[in-house]
Amino acid sequence: MPERKPRGAFIVVEGLDRSGKSTQVALLEQRFKAEGRPVRLAKFPDRATPIGKMIDAYLRSQSEMDDHAVHLLFSANRWELAQSIIDSLNAGTTVICDRYAFSGIAFSAAKNKPGMSYEWCRAPDIGLPAPDLTLFLDVSPEKARERGGFGAERYENADMQERVQHVFERIGVEMGDGSRWFAVDADQEQGAVTDELWMRIQPHAQGTERPIQRLWE
């Protein structure tokens, strides 16, 4: 009988703006490559698609949009790339993703808009491929400030980030037992954060035989 090849693991890195996500994701990619393991980086929002371009214009305040509508666009941006993520995983490639549906809930629910409850924000992502592991880069407001303050995009202000942090904390609690969601202290120096992330990722680095789960199973 031919040996079945394990699929790649789906690993998501989440966190506030300025938590060091993008830097860490790039460093993790290097580690996979150094070990000769196939790896693909993904990032949401993916600003390159037509939907992504609408999101980008909104984030840069070059357009106005209803809050529900933009929430659904963020979700649609994941749906349009979902099959290609599944294909990569099934080809044995580890997918490391900079933000995912958790950011979708956290940033939209943090707006505290009537009719945009936590549950409402969660719903459009039901059925998307679920990460095997999510690593939440937990940065303190002090450290975020030290790292050069926020950029000029929407949501990049201390008030909003604090509300987003609270929603992320709720998500962490609801994700439960700690085997698929880990908070990592992102106030540590860069190398220490990478080491801790790598320690969490290693059990997944060889891939898995487990079928791809769906949100929010």
Q: Which residues contact ligand NYM (rule: CB under 6 A)?
A: 17, 44-45, 59, 74, 99, 103-104, 107, 155
- The residue ranges that bind Mg ion (CB under 5 A) are 17
- Phi and psi at 25, nearest 5°, equal -60, -40
Number of Cβ within a 10 Å radius of residue 101 = 27
User: Which tokens in the block code for residue 158?
Assistant: 């201390």
Which 3 state secondary structure label does DSSP give 28?
Answer: helix
Cβ distance to ligand NYM smaller for residue 155 or 168: 155
Cβ distance to ligand NYM smaller for residue 37 or 47: 47
Q: Using CB positions, name the residue nearest to Mg ion.
A: 17
User: Which tokens in the block code for residue 22?
Assistant: 């993008």
Q: Which does 168 bind (CB under 5 to 8 A by kind): Mg ion, ligand NYM, none?
A: none
Q: Which does 7 bind (CB under 5 to 8 A by kind): ligand NYM, Mg ion, none?
A: none
Q: Which does 172 bind (CB under 5 to 8 A by kind): Mg ion, ligand NYM, none?
A: none
Q: Which does 107 bind (CB under 5 to 8 A by kind): ligand NYM, Mg ion, none?
A: ligand NYM
Q: Which does 74 bind (CB under 5 to 8 A by kind): ligand NYM, Mg ion, none?
A: ligand NYM
For the bound state, the minimum distance from the C-beta of residue 110 to ligand NYM, rounded and expressed in Å, comes to 9
With contact defined as beta carbons under 8 Å apart, do 132 and 11 qualify? yes
For residue 143, give the H/E element and its range: helix 141-146
Long-range contacts of 51-58, Cβ-Cβ distance < 8 Å, separation of 24 or more: 51/76, 51/77, 51/80, 52/77, 58/154
For the bound state, the minimum distance from the C-beta of residue 158 to Mg ion, rounded and expressed in Å, comes to 14
